[in-house]
Amino acid sequence: MINMWDILTSFTDVKTILLTLVFILVIGYVISMQERSGIPPGPSYWPIVGNMLDIRGKRVGKRHKYYAELQEKYGDIFRIYFGNQLLVVLNDFESIEDAFVKQKDLFSSRPVDKLWGIQQTVKDGKGVLWASGQEWKDARRMTVRALRDLGVGKTTLEDRIKEEAKIILDYITACEGKPFKVHDIMMKATTNIISTVVFGKRYDYSDLDFLQIIKVLEINFKGEMGVFSPIHQFPMLRFIPVLAAKILTARNSVEKVKQFIADRIEEHKEVFDKNDIKDFIDVHLDMCASGASDVTSEGNTKRTILSLFLAGSDTTATTLDWALLYMILHPEVQKKCQEEIDSVVGNIRMVGWSGKSKLPYNEATLLEVQRIANAVPNTVPHTTDKDAVVKGFLIPQGSLVYANLYACHLHSRYWKEPLQFKPERFLDDTGTISKQTAATLIPFSIGPRICVGESLARMEIFLFFTNLLQRFSFSTSGSEKPSTDGICGVSMSTPEYTLTATPR
């Protein structure tokens, strides 16, 4: 016979269990949403996913605009949650300088242990980009030495850049006035410059190994493993078949490039001569031979070489892509750049690096392109080694910290009419570059983690840009003006556009 009392008690038990569960969940939720007092303000967020879902739909590729909304609402330092990981964004020069320069001992590490995808890729060596502490200092010293000794600022590398510029000029001539995409060709040119630095040679644009390197760069800049991918906080996503396939493709192509690098290292070993250091691999072999450093493990060197391709190709190519986009949108600026080149260099010899100070309008134009376009909108993530305080806000140990260079370059505190393209803003009354105006322009970041390839990048941008303008006039290929609404991934790409070139 059914005992009503049993039913009632069992019902109560179920109810009690359910209520207890709900209670535990609520307490868990409240605890997980507790924030340490003093951290920067920021938007409300969901348990587990944090603010990851905020960048969806129309906001995909518009992270810079999402950050601008948050800056407007919460001020120059705000926080969001990447999953349950605290992420602090610094949006003005003073906070970036305070953190990355004045408190450099607290802010110069990279958060590899917080980013699953990065952990996977650096298992046999972090290289200069992802290492921290002494390991990073050693890798950085090796990289700086390679870039310095291989002649950045001297003639050899300049000559290689000019050679590459001639190849681009021939390519454009062969287009015979038909529309073409700037980024594709610039990507090949800038990748070849890195190739010259690390392997001591350039590759034909149709070489399969060379194209494989470019493929890896594209996957890293546009693909699932970028530092903003949810996979870093939710590695389980890798089991979703479509993502699994993409990750496998990315991994396989990186492995192929690593094997290619390993083969080049073996080739270099056979002909190594310590009195004739020709490229980055030679610097690595020299440091190994002299026992100068224990980071010269082959894994680390391979990873540093990969980092140079990753950090040095797309960034420079994208800056040049923006430079030509702004030239077709501002033909009057293009004309002034050309007039300056014509009067100082003429049209017979190529523009050289030593002529830069005599071409201030061209230089101002390139600075303005870097300011307004922001090819690298945010720094690589930094992390805090201990609790730190910036502008009175607590930034706890282990936070992810980004400098929002895009916001800094468009901040009305430093720039009059920040959305206007005006190269003149960088020129003083005497027509030379105003150091004061340029002081808050930091496209290469600041502090110990500042871009290690800054000098090389500046030389490439200047030489490619001026030598193209010396020979061609660029204009829009369609009736409509291309937009300048950038697409924000690791780099800020231009919207798709083509242009045409007319020989001068």
> Is the Cβ of residue 122 or residue 247 nearer to ligand HEM in the bound state?
122
Please give the structure tokens belonging to residue 221: 């800049």
Cβ at position 241, least distance to ligand HEM in Å: 34
Q: Find the part of the chain contacting ligand HEM (CB under 6 A) among 74-82, 83-91, 275-283, 312-320.
A: 312-320
Q: Find the part of the chain contacting ligand HEM (CB under 6 A) among 28-36, 308-316, 339-347, 467-475.
A: 308-316
What is the rounded distance in angstroms from the CA atom of residue 1 to the CA atom of residue 229? 60
With a CB cutoff of 8 Å and minimum separation 6, the contacts of 350 are: 162, 165, 166, 467, 470
> Is the Cβ of residue 319 or residue 437 nearer to ligand HEM in the bound state?
319
300 binds ligand HEM (CB under 6 A): no
Beta strand pairing status for 85-90 and 400-403?
parallel
Cβ at position 300, least distance to ligand HEM in Å: 13
What is the rounded distance in angstroms from the CA atom of residue 484 to the CA atom of residue 471? 25
Task: Kindly state the number of chain residues that form the binding site for ligand HEM, as judged by CB under 6 A.
Answer: 23
Q: Find the part of the chain contacting ligand HEM (CB under 6 A) among 15-23, 200-208, 270-278, 453-461.
A: 453-461
> Is the Cβ of residue 338 or residue 491 nearer to ligand HEM in the bound state?
491
Please give the structure tokens belonging to residue 170: 């021939």
Cβ at position 375, least distance to ligand HEM in Å: 5
400 binds ligand HEM (CB under 6 A): no
With a CB cutoff of 8 Å and minimum separation 6, the contacts of 217 are: 187, 191, 309, 310, 313, 314
Instruction: Identify the bridge partners of residue 390 per DSSP, sorted by sequence position.
Output: 393
∠ CA 12-18-22, nearest 5°, is 140
Site for ligand HEM in 357-386 (CB under 6 A): 375-376, 379-380
125 binds ligand HEM (CB under 6 A): no
Q: Find the part of the chain contacting ligand HEM (CB under 6 A) among 5-13, 20-28, 270-278, 445-453.
A: 445-453
319 binds ligand HEM (CB under 6 A): yes
Q: Could you tell me if 459 and 157 are in contact, meaning their C-beta atoms sit under 8 angstroms apart? A: yes
Q: Which of 71, 95, 316, 365 binds ligand HEM (CB under 6 A)?
A: 316
Q: Which of 106, 257, 311, 333 binds ligand HEM (CB under 6 A)?
A: 311
* DSSP letter, residue 487: E
∠ CA 206-212-218, nearest 5°, is 110
**H helices present in 36-92, as ranges:** 63-74
Q: Is 100 helix (H, G, I), strand (E, B) or coil?
A: helix
191 binds ligand HEM (CB under 6 A): no
64 binds ligand HEM (CB under 6 A): no
* Per-residue CA distances from 81 to 32, 235, 470 (Å): 12, 17, 48
DSSP for 81-99 reads: EETTEEEEEE-SHHHHHII
492 binds ligand HEM (CB under 6 A): no
Chain residues in the site for ligand HEM (CB under 6 A): 128-129, 140, 307-308, 311-312, 315-316, 319, 375-376, 379-380, 443-445, 449, 451-453, 456-457
